[in-house]
Amino acid sequence: MIDQSADIMISSNAVFTGLSDSPTAACIAIKGNRIIAVGSQEELRCYAGEQTKFYSFQDQLILPGFHDFHLHIMHGAVALGSANLFAARSEEEAAEMIREYAEAKPDIPWVIGFMWDSSYWENQQLPTRHSLDRILPDRPVIAYHAEGHHAWVNSKALEIAGITRMTQDPEYGVIGRDKSGEPDGILFEKAMGPVTSQAFDFSPVEKQEIFSSFLAHARELGVTAVHDLHALKTIDAYDVYKGFEDSQELTTRIHLWPALDGNLAHAKRLREEYRSDMLRVSGLKQFIDGVITARTAYLLEPYADAPETRGDTSFPAETIKKWVEDADKEGFSIRFHAIGDGAIRLALDAYEAAQRSNGKRDSRHSIEHVEVIHPADIQRFKELGVTASMQPDHLALSERGVYTDRIGVEREKLVFPIRSLQKAGAKLAFGTDFPIDVLNPLLQIYRAVTRIDSSGKSVWHPDERISLADALKAYTAGAAYGAFREHELGTLEAGKLADLVVLDRNLFAVPSSEIPETKVQLTMVDGKVVFEDRILA
């Protein structure tokens, strides 16, 4: 006789399965790494055995595990142990925070910071190397802007990277210079590469420690699956991920998105090598443009406050279209960083051209960020089957006034158009872009349902708010769909992999202001409890 008893049974008065728009009282039976039944405790009594472990919650919300559709694992993990400069309100204050961090870490070769944003400073001027040279003349410093597309470095970092007044700007990159032509300490886009490659030159043991810190952080936040997207200069760590999987220490499912760069032989080898339930190549990713605040996002019309530029593309349009056509033909899903309306249109045009060339298929290509869009392109997401991969909390990271100054009032009417895309039938998938934002999914949920801007008081286009249920679905089922895994992830139902999270309160029963305060009580991945907050339990 087959033993049908569950290994784990978990119940609550508030279970959000993702199959409806509200939670209900339910029990979930789990055997091995799968959910075998969902129903009332009475209906599932037959699954209770002598060895079954029971978890009984009252009104705490149980829901599918959070599935972060866009982040950068190793960069984010480095940021966890680096100087966080977001609270700085001047160049001097940011430099002082870097000095204090450096004093506390005297043995690290590179001083690394993240998240400064001069748009919040009184003078709104970019910093220079001189303020860093005064505090750290002999140790290299690199501090990334909050949006990650330009960095602030000192003279020692420039020296180590070999950047001088004679160094030419790379293609799609700018070395900031003072009036005399000397590098001023700001590096834009691909100009960061020579410094980043030195600062992030970690040993295998260091990479393992960095990755381990990420896994611990993720499980505490209920993040059960992530998408690790190619960055401009990434830390090569796929072998580290595989080592953790082989030793059964991988507590978050990882979907890999290496570079879309024309090298399909390499991409196909990676796809063949990484294809398990816990670690797999899901497609290819590339940048089309930069960001609005640095004026490196690619716009259809010039910037409102700099009419001499409309940004640029990271690669020629014909190169991008050729890469897409070839990769699409080989069955790859493709994802493009596209923030400006020009970049978004180019991405959609490339996907459309690939359909004409290769035939229409269920490709599930996506566009990342979708911050400033032309109204004519909204309906194209559904027409082309393109996922809108968005990070709602980003609308509060940038200072709203500066953002609006860049694009002007007319284009500002459709910024972060989450509801407009949803109404037009686009598939939504949410993530954080960690370390551009913190890894906590609940901040993204909060911003999607409130759209409270950087002031903390005003709502930025209230018509673009979405419901709590839809926000949760975008962070669970939407991401699963974008990974072709809706048959096994994203909802709580029989047959699916047992990835779930328990929160300390029912989000549907509390004011939205409590969402950011909510804590994770339990995280389960692949049928195993990987985090349990004993204090809350």
Could you give the CA distance from residue 475 to residue 90 in angstroms, rounded to a whole number? Answer: 35
Beta bridge partners of 454: none
Helix (H, G, I), strand (E, B) or coil at 15: strand
Cβ atoms of residues 57 and 12 within 8 Å:
yes
Beta bridge partners of 11: 27, 56
Q: In what order do the strands lie in the sheet with 334-338?
A: 284-287, 334-338, 366-369, 387-390, 428-430
Could you give the CA distance from residue 292 to residue 303 in angstroms, rounded to a whole number? Answer: 9
Q: Give the rounded distance of the alpha carbon of 405 from its chain centre.
A: 26
Please state whether beta strands 8-15 and 279-281 pair in parallel, antiparallel, or not at all (unpaired): unpaired
**Helix H or strand E encompassing 410:** helix 400-412
Please state whether beta strands 150-153 and 141-145 pair in parallel, antiparallel, or not at all (unpaired): antiparallel
- Per-residue pLDDT at 427: 98
Q: Give Cβ neighbours of residue 166 (< 8 Å, ≥ 6 apart).
A: none
Cβ atoms of residues 183 and 177 within 8 Å:
yes
- Per-residue pLDDT at 232: 57
Look-up: residue for tokens 């909204």? 378
Length of the chain equals 537
How would you label 275-298 residue by residue, b for 16+ Cβ within 10 Å and e otherwise?
eeebbbbbbbbbbbbbbbbbbbbb
Along the 537 residues of the chain, how does pLDDT read in single tens digits? 567 899 999 999 999 999 999 999 999 999 999 999 999 999 999 999 999 999 999 999 999 999 999 999 999 999 999 999 999 999 999 999 999 999 999 999 999 999 999 988 988 999 999 999 999 999 999 999 988 889 999 999 999 999 999 999 998 899 999 999 999 999 998 999 999 999 999 999 999 999 999 999 999 999 999 999 987 556 889 999 999 999 999 999 999 999 999 999 999 999 999 999 999 999 999 999 999 998 999 999 999 999 999 999 999 999 999 999 999 999 999 999 999 999 999 999 999 999 999 999 999 999 999 999 999 999 999 999 999 999 999 999 988 999 999 999 999 999 999 999 999 999 999 999 999 999 999 999 999 999 999 999 999 999 999 999 999 999 999 999 999 999 999 999 999 999 999 999 999 999 999 999 999 999 999 999 999 997 655
- Per-residue pLDDT at 275: 97
- Per-residue pLDDT at 520: 98
How would you label 45-69 residue by residue, b for 16+ Cβ within 10 Å and e otherwise?
eebeeeeeeebebeebbbbbbbbbb
Could you give the CA distance from residue 56 to residue 11 in angstroms, rounded to a whole number? Answer: 5
- Here the tokens at position 385 are 């089957």
